[in-house]
């Protein structure tokens, strides 16, 4: 439940190691263990458009991946 004056709630789950498929520049797939999390966002559609919410989540993703890269 989003209580006014809040307009969104960001949920960040625990980081856990998971197997993921990685594709190299040549198109070859491999399996690797990577730290992964689930990020969720609930927002009031009267205050934020879905495009804005998606852009925000993309920025969060990019920043988290940047931290992981070092």
Active site members = 45, 49
Hey, CA dihedral for 49, 55, 59, 60, is it positive or negative? positive
CA neighbor of 35 nearest in space, from 65, 21, 15: 15
Distance between CA atoms of residues 28 and 36, nearest Å: 22
């Amino acid at each position: 439940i989003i209580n006014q004056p809040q307009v969104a709630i960001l949920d960040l789950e625990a980081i856990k190691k998971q197997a993921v498929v990685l594709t190299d520049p040549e198109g070859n797939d491999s399996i690797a263990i990577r730290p992964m999390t689930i990020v969720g966002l609930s927002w009031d559609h009267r205050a934020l458009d879905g495009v804005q919410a998606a852009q925000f989540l993309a920025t969060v993703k990019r920043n988290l991946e940047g931290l992981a890269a070092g």
